[in-house]
Each structure stands twice: as C-alpha cells, then as structure tokens.
Structure 1
C-alpha cells in the first residue's frame, strides 16, 4: 500500500477500515486482524496499527475484548430507510411562511433543546486553531486592513483553494475562482447568472430549506426531482423533467444531501454531466458537506467530470472549520465572467485577512488529520442518535443512514403528523424540524429532520427519547 505523506499513516489505515465497516465489507461483530498481522500487511510498526484501532474505538466503530482482540462494534437495530418521494407534476412558485425561520433560524429561545442545526458546534470544531490562523494573518498582513479587498478574493487564498479542490477531483484555475460571503451566497450568485424571475429550477426532493429561501427571493419556480435515500437524485426523473418542462438550471448537493444525506455514485455524477451537456443545462453543485463524507470516493465532485464549463461549483468551510468566518467560494465554469460582473455590482469583496487565514488553515499539514477526527466524532454522535431512535420511536419509523454529516431524516408511520409532533415538542422545550419545511409543495407530512449539530449533551439524548415517546403516544 502507498501512503499519503501529508497524513499520518494510522489515520489512513483507520480511514480504510472505517470505510470497510460502513460498506459492510467488515460485518458487525466480525473480528479484525491482529495488530501484528495488520502491521505486517501494511508494512508499518505495530504501534501505528494500535493508534488506528484506538481511533476507531473513539469513533465507536470497533470494540476491544480482553485477550480476544478487536471486533466491529454492533450497530443499532437496522432501521428501514426512507421511501423515495413522488415526482412533482409541475413547477411551483415558492411561498415560505414564518415556521421555517422559527425552526431553522440561528437564534433559538434560551432553554430550548434544539435538533434544528446540522452545523458542528464548538465541541466538534477547533476555535483555537482558527484563532491562531487569524492572529498570524493579522500580524503578517495587517496593511490589508487599511485597503479595500478585491472582489475576486486575495490571490493567495484562491491558489490555496485550487490546491484544495484537487481533493474534490478538480483541476481549477485560481484566476477563475471567486471568493464569496458563504456557500448560500455562492448559490444565489450562480442562480442570478443563469436565470430570470419566473424561471424553473430543478432541485432534489426533499431539499435544503435555504435553497427554497433563495428561490423565493429570486422569484424562481421549484421543480422537485425524487431522490433515493442513499444514491441521491433520480437521473431518469430528471431526464423526464428536462424533456417536458422548461428547466433553466439544476441545483443539488450530490455529497451528503440536505436533509437525506444521500451520496450520488460516481457513475451517476458522470452521467449527470453528460445529461447537462446534452440539454445545455447549468448545474449548480453545492459541495459544502464534501469533507464530512467518510470515503474519499464520495468526495469527488460532479465538477471533476466537467470539461465544458457546464457545472458551477459552490463550497464553504462553515461545516468543518468556522461558520463565523462567513467565507465561501465558487468556480462558475462558462458563466465566470457574467458572475464576476454580478458580484462586483452586488457585493464587492470580503475581508482579505479572513481569506488569508482560511488559506492558512486548509494548507496546514494537519488539516487532513483534523477532518478525520471531526468525521470520527460526528460518526459516534450519529450512531448514538440512531440507537435512541431505534429504541424509542414507533415501530415502522424509517431513518436515513448517511455516510457522514450531522443530519438524519425520519419518516414516521402514518397517520402520525410531524407538524403536530413539532407542536407537542415545543410545549416540552424541544425543537424538531417538520418535513413540510423541506419542499415547496408542503409534502413530507410524516417527515422530520433531526439535526445533531450544536450542543450534544445527555440532555439531548434524553430529549430525543422524549420525542420518540411522544410520537408513540400520539400514534396510540
């Protein structure tokens, strides 16, 4: 085996074993190779294998049994996965009410136990690492605090992002990368570049609530395309939509979609690009969750298959480094010049000092190790939540099983209504997101998105059990 010199070998070994566990190659309860055998297999020291096994123990993927060795940890009772949504017959204007902002807004009432966030909190992120990068940037580039920033972004930051994009399978020209005020800012800019008010935009179903907010603000119509809970958007359904509807753009999250957590297979990503070229369809790819996907193959972007500039890539590090930086970036393919003009007229530039701090963070030798540690901690949290759901929620509850990220999508058994459960939870100071928020047509009445970001305490586990108990009680 050839190792990547920039990442500790134990993390690379642990990552391969973790992926094998997730994919079922290593079955739950199966004994792992001995430390000595694995060390010989990979040509590393036994201490390196021990470190890898300890990392997997911390992620709760394996357990150690005295005098017996290491075994793949048992998972919660296998739960049925969510069903595929029905196709929409026609596009719909987006009209959101106050509920979405109350549930998914950044400010939550004090004392509320919230399951609304999919963004890691301070216990998962490393604010000291960010602080040190900011301090270095200010000390080294303090003169930039006294000048207006470039609308495109600082050249050094764009070069760092081009190097980072290699991990997404992309070879990008730094001159064509634009810095933005966040991933949703990038998405909105891309939509402005390729649509006019009244146009139809295809997107996943269920979809990201913030996408619906952007479509409403730009007076665009939504055409929701069914998604498989593991494999993502149905390209057959998309093909039908392109043949029958005036679709002007496709907006999607191919890696860890929100809220399903699905990941498109690479063959489907390649096929999507071919479909886009055939129909001259602009594809806006939101890759914000890519670093949270457990396998390297899942992180390869749709953009990596694009040779004609048909795919617009949007990204941010708010889910992995620091939401407070409010920085994103994009590469807009053949629409780069148009989008650059829109950005110059609309927003100008971001803080060059913040951009350089971000460049420092993603260029550090330890960045890949930090991402692996983050993924391990997230996996342990998600596994805890799935175990609680299996034990406490009504029989027949369907639950997603995403290969990364902090979101779970639940489908409650009929006739249980998620909006009624939401109201019952509010009375107990518990906040859940009802499924109707994640579609333009008010569907998913049995759906719930459980966000495991933010704080995670024994109180949260108990609150999740309480949600399940209330669901059982309402079902009778």
Structure 2
C-alpha cells in the first residue's frame, strides 16, 4: 500500500471517530454508505472500506446485514472522580515496595497486569523499528567501539527540535540534551533547580515515579488539588505560591498520569504568567502529548513561555519504541548546567540507538502512526469503561481521558485498594492501588488501570473479576 492511501483511510477513520466520541454522530445513527463516503471525500471505495474496518475494529461502528453501517452503542456515562483535596502542607516522601512488585509483574506470562503504564509491543510498528536499528547498526557500527561524548547525536537533536514544533515549541538544536529516559530528564531538571529540603509542587494524584525521584533527592512534595478532566487547579496553585517557598513545579499538563487530565489552553497561558510572576521554574513532562485526541491540548505549556521558565522533558517510549529508552530535555535557560550534570551523572547515550530513533522520527507516515495508535487505545479504553460500568460496585467513578491508555477509578464506600491489590494478586491479576500516587495516603479507595498491555478475552475476564473482588470488599 502506498503511504498516501495509508494516510487517507486513517484520516477518514480518525475524523469519524472524533465525531462519534464527541456525540456529533449519536449512537445507533446510520452513517454514509461506502459509495457515498467515497464520493464525498473523492477517494476510492477500497479506501473507505479500510476506514470502516478500522472503526469496526475499534468498536465504534457496526455493520448490520442488508442495512449498512451504524454507530455502535457506546458505554453508559459514568460519573467522574471529584477534584482531589490534598493537605495544604509539604511532606517528605516515602514510597511502598508495591511499585517494584507491579513492575516485576508487568510482563509476567502468568499474570494479567493492569498495574504498569507500559504499552505492549503489538501496539508499535515493530518491523519498522527493527529495520531502523538494523540500518543504524550497518551504517554506524564503528560507533559501538567508540566512547560517546556530548549532549547527544546531532541528527537526533535535530529530529527532536522538529518534533517539538508539533507542540508549538521553537527550540534550537543546541539547546536539546539527550538522556536515557524521560525520568532521567526530570531528575536532571530537579537537580538543576533545587537542593535537598526544597519544596516541589505536583499534581495530586501524581505519578509514583515522580515521588520516588523526590524521595531520592531529599525534596518535599506539595500536592496541588487536581481536577480529573482539566488538571491542576490554578487557584490552588496560586495560593500555594503565595504561602509556600516553592522552588519548582513538576506537572504533566497533557494526559497526566494517573488521571489522564488535560489542561485547557487558556489555563496553560495563565499558568505561564503565574510562574513568571513568582520566578518559579516548571518541569513540563510531554511524554503523552502525541496520544491526546485534542489538537489544542497537544500544545505544550512551554510554547506560551516568554520568560524562559519552562523546562521541557519527553521521550518516545509510549508512542514509537519503548525499548530504545531514550529521553530528552529542552530548557534553553539551563542548557549548559544540564549538559554538565548529565555528563557527570551518566555520560552520553549509545550513538547507534540515537541514530535509529532519528531515522524513525524523520520517516514519512509518523503522524498516521500516531493516529492509528490513538484509535486502538481509545477503543480499549471505551471497552474497559463498559466493563467497569457492568461489573464494578455501584457508585464507582471513572475518568474519561481525551486519549492515552490509563483510567483512574474512585471506588465507593470503604473499599481499600491495597486489600484489593492483594486479593487480585491471589488470582494472578495486578492492579495499581491509589495510595501509590500520593505522599499523603489519601487515595486508598482509588486505583489506576493501565490498559496498554495485552488486550483480549483473558484481560476482559480479569477486569470483570477485579470488579467482583471490589464488590466483595465493600464494608
């Protein structure tokens, strides 16, 4: 198939998927015939058939014999969790060994894992990645016997500079530092702008990996109330800036982990102004931006920053190739300090892998690949929400993120998700208890579901079983 045709059918499928998810095309409504849609878009009927097959695979439409195609029934609306209410004080951080347990079970063949936020290999163009690594090995094999130096291979830094243009960011190639992962990027940024004992503001709940970094750096966490749809409460952040000696803000404005919130664009602009007034740097994690269905909310907060307050961190482990394990930082005001710290901490990354990633980032069709990935994971999330509505205790609240493969659940009553975690392990199912995602132990009745792993009948049965086990724990 030619790349142009490949792009066309995905564009048609993506546009129709958006109409269905936003309710423009209501459930049960008949959609145009293959012939009519082909005529409407000026494409071949085979292109429309491929688009409709994609939508069928995503369970967004269904074919009815002798009647045509219809929008499939959608899962019932579920209430979303409330805005978080963390205590108004900073706390030292201590993280449970449960995180290590979850990571060890993420790919265990005897377990169904919803614990880790790791996408499985089948979600990616594995052959394309293999060919890129093979080409890099052949063309640059001499680099394997050379010690790498510097802030990163120039071809990769150029590719990243082009990539962040999609987020509205204009970064000079020389201001990009290549790292081993997004987490290393964040750790380096925190080490650059804080010292032990300093206060760092975060979303609440927040990713447990961030809390782990803060704990290891001797930093104090100040959790800010966060809405499950729109993200960080800027009013609460303003109060915190006025009353606490905050040295940095660490946040994920697009598809935050674990609740999948995405901050509206006007709030992003307001956030930049607040930080500039208080001269507080922000470490912005854009790891999930390419998974967001909303074009506007893929735009980084950094794109509105005129004072140089925002440090941009990312990687491609959720969208292109998890196994390459390469991250990056773009923080022009701190480039020299970051380069020195990176060199002193872990040195430079393997040139061959950097060249392979640069190859992948500059290939045609990368946007089509993002669209396809967004469609596949959106279908999983929709299906999982339907299973939750049928099998989890009445009163369960669930997020409805605009992309990504993570759901955050707030269970009713006194259901303790640590007890649920243990009950699930007994049945070889792994979940992520909510208390992992805060330094304050305020989310014991919540849990995160990672839907990036395998997804089939075994996983559907396992998710239904988690609901039944939760029901059994109700007080």
With normalisation by structure 1, the TM-score equals: 0.95
**Corresponding residue for 1:17?**
16
Number of residue equivalences:
473
Tell me if structure 2 keeps the 8 A contact 1:93–1:221: yes
Q: Does 1:82 align with 2:107?
A: no
**In the alignment, structure 1 residue 231 sits paired with structure 2 residue 230:** yes
- Counterpart position of 2:101: 102
What secondary structure sits across from 1:443 in the alignment?
coil
Could you report, residue by residue, the CA deviation over 1:112-132 in whole angstroms, capped at 9, with x for unpaired residues?
222112121122223222111
Partners of 1:104 and 1:433 within 8 A in 2 = no
Task: Name which of structure 1's ranges 17-26 and 285-294 shifts more when overlaid on structure 2.
Answer: 17-26
Indicate conservation of the 8 Å contact 2:14/2:375, yes or no.
no
Match of 1:413? 412
- Mapped partners of 1:81, 1:273: distance in 2: 28
The equivalences for 1:411-450 within 5 A come to 411-450=410-449
Q: Any conservation in 2 of the 1:118–1:405 contact (CA below 8 Å)?
A: no
Contact 2:96 2:436 in 1 (8 A): no
Shift of 1:435: 0.5
Q: Which moved more, 1:210-219 or 1:85-94?
A: 85-94
Q: Is the contact made by 2:287 and 2:314 (CA closer than 8 Å) also made in structure 1?
A: yes
Which residue matches 1:156? Answer: 155
Deviation at 1:105, TM superposition (A): 4.5
Aligned to 1:196: 195
Provide the secondary structure at the position in 2 that maps to 1:85.
Answer: coil
Q: Deviations over 1:154-203 (max 9, x none)?
A: 11111111111111221211111110000000000110111010111111
Q: Residues 421-466 of structure 1, C-alpha deviation per residue, up to 9 Å, x if partnerless?
A: 1121122222111110000101111101111122223222111111
Contact 2:316 2:327 in 1 (8 A): yes
Aligned to 1:319: 318
**SS at structure 1 position matched to 2:165:** helix
Which residue does 2:402 correspond to in 1?
A: 403
2:346: which partner in 1?
347
Q: 1:11 to 1:448 in 2, by over 3 A?
A: same
1:261 and 1:77 map into 2 onto residues whose CA distance is 19
Question: Which sections of structure 2, spanning at least 5 residues, go unmatched?
Answer: none
For the 8 Å contact 1:433–1:450, the answer to whether it is kept is yes
Kindly provide the CA deviation profile for residues 230-282 of structure 1, in whole angstroms up to 9, marking residues without a partner as x: 11111111111111111111111111110101111111111111111111111
Cα separation, 2, equivalents of 1:434 and 1:103: 10
The CA RMSD measured in Å over matched residues stands at 2.0
Distance apart, 1:297 and its partner CA: 2.3
Segment drifting more, 116-125 vs 435-444 = 116-125
Contact 1:28 1:72 in 2 (8 A): yes
Task: For residue 25 of structure 1, report the CA deviation from its aligned partner.
Answer: 2.6
Cα distance in 2, alignment partners of residues 25 and 475 from structure 1: 38
Question: What is the rounded CA distance, in whole Å, between the counterparts of 1:319 and 1:55 in structure 2?
Answer: 21
TM-score (norm. length: structure 2): 0.95
Contact 1:7/1:365, CA 8 A, preserved across alignment: no
Q: Does the residue aligned with 2:121 lie in a helix, a strand or coil? A: coil
Provide the rounded CA distance (Å) in 2 between the counterparts of 1:38 and 1:121: 34
Q: 1:394 to 1:187 in 2, by over 3 A?
A: same
Question: Which residue number in structure 2 is paired with residue 251 of structure 1?
Answer: 250
Distance 2:50 2:72 in 1: 17
Task: Please state if 1:332 is matched with 2:331.
Answer: yes
- Kindly indicate whether residue 358 of structure 2 is the aligned counterpart of residue 359 of structure 1: yes
| CA deviation profile, 1:82-124 (whole Å, cap 9, x unmatched) | 1111142100111123223223446666522221121211222
| Structure 1 gap segments, 5+ residues each | none
CA distance in 1, matches of 2:170, 2:8: 26
CA contact 2:75–2:386 (8 Å) conserved in 1: yes
**Residues 39-61 of structure 1, C-alpha deviations (whole Å, 9 max, x = no match):** 45444444433332222222222
